[in-house]
Chain A
């Protein structure tokens, strides 16, 4: 008897049950949440100037999108001669509010990571090593590297921490909040084993919690140990997944001494995550961002920390909206991978990526030429920079700082009262 179509028991639902009946395994997927949850970026519209506060033409007037990440002082004090008296904490200068998110060597190929590193250098922004250590071939890009410290501490040592622009403690990630990372031994090739500093072919297990962090106090200890060992020269970031009570968590993390907080929404990508977690855990970054920015303002500590958000920024308009909602910067991963050839097949976890991105197989990796591919990523971000400037100019703003947290520039369409309240924006027409 042939299968009958059924609205509830879709072919996919049946296929997944059969797979699990056969193997007894946890279903594993790549990329990001593939369920039709609301996309709030598409329900917010930007403002533009008409007549009174005229728009600014970015082609003939300077337009500032340079972004500084790091702890800002609550107030500034000056000497009599006008020079700055307040001692500033280390700041990271970026020429765009766009960074590249953490993708480890292991989850992606060295050629893919190198393309991002080269692009970051050209663009004046940063790439992120993920928790895979820094491969020696990328040492020359250390000034545009963010290095990650995750629960497994793979490849983490003094020199690695010093070879960075800033250090990111990974607590969680949007694609799989509450669970850890697990690089299977098959992907731990000689090269990967070097960067992670573990034996070839061994499993690299990063459990969900850092087993030395059970409280904000413990997190504080790790943050300050990293500051001590790098002699207070590097900002320390903490990355968390956007979850139900993220505003309280972020407030705690800010008070623990983080200089930058990275929050990854439920659409964030991954090389591999259990399907059920990828598709069902976490909350939309739009709501999380609005709630967190609001909370930090209410507590008068918004200046103490920079907020970087991630989790599926598809274009420059999404980014402009995020900055208006309160982000200092965003980080992107899937978009640059698409620029490098990714076709969104969502099979990253199989390690057979045809485009040489999510694979360690030499014959596939060699298909990705960093010399060519980094230029495509540079093009993409430069195009977005232009678009961001145009949108800013359209709103009558000539600096991205004037847009940060400026929710008057946003209006909702087709949103309910409660959603508007959380986003802190008025409805279109108001």
Chain B
């Protein structure tokens, strides 16, 4: 089933999408024009395909469903996502995957600032964000779990791979960076390490999926060396306080 978003309000559009998904598992929406909150809380087994530019908070609280966007995304994609998959054939804005706990997000091109802030993990819940291009400042701030991958593909302006203040306050999870990056953009208390065998296996899995979605060359991507960022301590603030 195909819906036309056009100039409709987000409330009308989202109500229609929900109604359609009561009787079927997939809905396609054409000419999306910045409508917010599309697919928020989408459950497992349901999927939405979007053409155009969905607005902020797309896939917020995503609950196992899948959203694929043919176009660019805006801010706060996958906010507090609890599972499922988001694929964006284009660029995305700021605060991608804020506090996401599970599921995967694949962005073909660049992401703005504050991607993966507060990402966390819990037992078998292991969130993954793969960004094909370069990324802005504050990547993985307060990150507590999960995996962030930045590939830095297609970067004609030669922008830094990651912006300033990368991994500030990070206390869990891992960030895989492809190729060279400026050490001064990485926060203190962060270790830059070589990938272990397990890391490499995990990375290759994510790159494979990325290539399957966007038609990139797996061997070419994996040919460039990767580094892993991880916190030096899981308790960065353990000695901050003294009981009074």
The complex places the Cα of A157 from the Cα of B60 at a distance, in Å, of 10
Residues in chain B near residue A229, CB distance under 8 A: 37, 40-41, 60-61
Looking at chain A's contact residues, is the secondary structure mostly helix, strand, loop, or mixed? mixed
A197 CB contacts on chain B under 8 angstroms: 101, 120, 122, 125
Instruction: Tell me whether B36 is interfacial, beta carbon within 8 Å.
Output: yes
Contact B238 A203 (CB under 8 A): yes
Query: Which of A112-120, A205-213, A388-396 interfaces with chain B?
Result: A205-213
B156 on the interface (CB 8 Å rule)?
A: no
Interface SS of B by simple majority: loop
B53 at the interface (CB under 8 A from A): no
Report yes or no: B244 in contact with A275, Cβ–Cβ below 8 A.
yes
Asked, given contacts A19-B242, A197-B122, whether A212 binds B144 with beta carbons under 8 Å apart, the answer is no
Expressed in whole angstroms, the minimum distance between the Cβ of B169 and any Cβ of chain A is 7
The answer to whether B242 and A211 have CB atoms under 8 Å apart is no
B57 lies within 8 A of A205 (CB): no
B160 to chain A, nearest CB (A): 20
Q: Which residues of A contact B1 (CB under 8 A)?
A: none
What chain A residues lie within 8 Å of B37 (beta carbons)?
224-225, 228-229
Which of B36, B63, B98, B114 contacts A157, CB < 8 Å? B63
Task: Check B60 against A28 for contact (C-beta < 8 Å).
Answer: no
Interface flags for B156-189 (1: CB within 8 Å of A; 0: not) read 0000000000000101100000000000000000
When the two chains form their complex, are residues B121 and A158 in contact, meaning their CB atoms are under 8 A apart?
no
Find chain A residues with CB under 8 A from B95 CB: 211-212
Contact A19 B117 (CB under 8 A): no
Q: What are 13 A-B contacts defined by CB distance under 8 Å?
A: A25-B241, A153-B98, A157-B80, A157-B82, A157-B101, A184-B235, A205-B142, A205-B144, A211-B141, A221-B56, A225-B57, A228-B37, A272-B241
Which residues in A have some Cβ–Cβ distance to B below 8 Å? Answer: 16, 19-20, 22-29, 151-153, 156-158, 161, 182, 184-185, 193, 197-199, 202-203, 205, 207, 211-212, 221, 224-225, 228-229, 231, 272, 274-275, 347, 349-350
Give chain B's interface residues, CB within 8 Å of chain A: 10-11, 14, 18, 36-37, 40-41, 43, 56-57, 60-61, 63, 75-76, 79-80, 82, 95, 98-99, 101, 114, 117-118, 120-123, 125, 138, 141-142, 144-145, 169, 171-172, 234-244
Extra pairs beyond A157-B63, A185-B238 (7, CB < 8 Å)? A19-B242, A26-B242, A197-B122, A207-B142, A211-B141, A228-B11, A228-B37
